[in-house]
Amino acid sequence: MIEKGYKYAKELYQNIGIDIDAALEALSQIKISMHCWQGDDVQGFENIGALSGGIAATGNYPGKANNIDELMEDIDKAFSLIPGKHKINLHAMYAVTDGEKVERNKLEPKHFMKWVEFAKKRGLGLDFNPTLFSHPMAADGLTLSHPDNKIRNYWVEHCKATRKIAEYMGKELNQPCLHNIWIPDGYKDIPADRWSPRQRLKDSLDEIFSEPMDKRYVIDAVESKVFGIGVESYTVGSHEFYMNYAAKNNILCLLDNGHYHPTEKVSDKIPSMLLFADQLALHVTRPVRWDSDHVVTFNEEIVEIAKEIVRCNAIDRVLIGLDFFDASINRVAAWVIGMRNMQKALLFALLMPHEQLAKMQKDGNFTDVLALNEELKMYPFGAVWDYFCNQNGVPVREKWLDDVKIYEKNVLSKRG
């Protein structure tokens, strides 16, 4: 059946000049960074406080990971159902301290040794993030832009520590580790002074990045945001702030597609950014009415994002990571659905005759562009996807869900 579908698809795509084997080979090279924080509803294992920073995971589906071992077990399960080799995206709050309380500004590479070993053994990469929320020092909702220098410094030190950890991860795994800074800083109501907090953030970042790092191991990025819960009127780290900061300091912008006004599209930003920067990082998510971080589905914007990556010839210039957290459904399933959808979107984009479409546009044949785009949606892309899953030894179509159900019964349902 899978073979039959493959042959049928191969012929149809060949007719429009697409080599599906080349597309599958390209897809197999794309690493997606799977965010560990879907596994435990962005809790972390420090036991110091509830989720803060204007983000929220809602729902109480049973079986969430309560410790590092359970989280690792769940990540393994998820990866067994996702084709290809990828990366794990970690946060500082997932440090392994063996019960010892380690201040975030005192974190060291050794606290992530277990994760490095885990990744090494499985041939996975790691990405890393400082955690500037869910902490008493972030209780005011201000971190790197805090007017109190003691607090601001604490967070500067934290980010310096996490960059060193990222460097360690990169060196150990012999591939770049994306170190991404996101801060929750902002104000609920219209601020009296928009300048000073941004000035302080700029100073903090200058200090954090003052130590040069080998780009073979660490790639620095900054992630902007338009608003968060409780900081509806103003965010210090806005898009313009970081876009300029990144351009001037030769670091990466990370675009999270939940962090813009609803009609503003990250897909449209990709080519603009790539004209001016070597690389770009993404947090792919699904905002529903707000930055709700729903599981990524195979929707129009995801496909559009994938299309831009492919047709800008930027597969190796765009670092793709996922960022969502749904606590109302099986968390392993959430990962599998999101990861497979991102891959499907990329495959869909890889199976398009982009040159032909671009030529139609150039020649002003907009009817043809629309017609072909719509017809392409009906091509047997699902058959190519099935073949890819089978080729990579993971369940084809909805079969993976049976595995998750068994895992839920045998493992997740037994958790306290």
Supply the residues annotated as catalytic. Answer: 182, 223, 225, 256, 259, 283, 291, 293, 323
Q: Which residue is nearest to ligand RNT (CB)?
A: 182
Q: Does 182 bind ligand RNT (CB under 6 A)?
A: yes
Partner in contact with 89, chosen from Zn ion, ligand RNT, none, beta carbon below 5 to 8 Å by kind:
none
Place of tokens 């900054």: 222
Among 283, 286, 294, 307, binds Zn ion (CB under 5 A): 283
Which of 127, 323, 386, 408 contacts Zn ion by CB under 5 A? Answer: 323
The option from ligand RNT, Zn ion, none interacting with 385 (CB < 5 to 8 A, set by class) reads: none
- Output helix, strand, coil percentages for the chain, rounded to the nearest 5: 50, 15, 40
Assess 220 for contact with ligand RNT (CB under 6 A).
no
Gap between the Cα atoms of 262 and 408, Å rounded? 35
User: At its nearest, how many Å lie between ligand RNT and the CB of residue 321?
Assistant: 9
Least CB distance from residue 182 to ligand RNT, whole Å?
4
Q: Site for ligand RNT (CB under 6 A): which residue of 33, 129, 235, 330?
A: 129
> Virtual CA dihedral for 106, 107, 108, 113, nearest 10 degrees?
160
**Between 147 and 230, CB nearer to Zn ion:** 230
Residue type, 95: A
Q: Are strands 125-129 and 318-322 parallel, antiparallel or unpaired?
A: unpaired
Applying CB under 6 A, does 335 fall inside the site for ligand RNT?
no
Structure tokens at 411: 């493992």
Indicate left, alpha or beta for 101 from its phi (over 0: left) and psi (-120 to 50: alpha). Answer: beta
When CB distances are held under 5 to 8 angstroms depending on the partner's kind, the choice from Zn ion, ligand RNT, none that residue 308 binds is none
Kindly state the helix (H) or strand (E) to which residue 113 belongs, with its residue range.
helix 113-122
Integer distance in angstroms from the first to the last C-alpha of the chain?
42
Q: Is 223 in the site for ligand RNT (CB under 6 A)?
A: yes
Ranges within 46-105 binding ligand RNT (CB under 6 A): 55
Helix (H, G, I), strand (E, B) or coil at 281: strand
Of 333, 291, 340, the closest CA to residue 64 belongs to 333
Closer residue to Zn ion (CB): 309 or 394: 309
Question: Considering only 35-43, 147-155, 255-263, 301-309, which stretch makes contact with Zn ion by CB under 5 A?
Answer: 255-263
116-120, long-range: CB within 8 Å, 24+ apart, which pairs?
A: 116/168, 116/169, 116/172, 116/173, 118/72, 118/88, 119/88, 119/169, 119/173, 120/172, 120/173
The nearest distance, CB 55 to Zn ion, in angstroms, is 9
Under the binding rule (CB under 5 A), the answer on residue 127 touching Zn ion is no
Q: Which of 6, 13, 37, 385 binds ligand RNT (CB under 6 A)?
A: 37
Footprint of ligand RNT (CB under 6 A): 37, 42, 55, 129, 182, 223, 225, 256, 283, 291, 323
List residues near Zn ion by CB under 5 A. Answer: 256, 283, 323
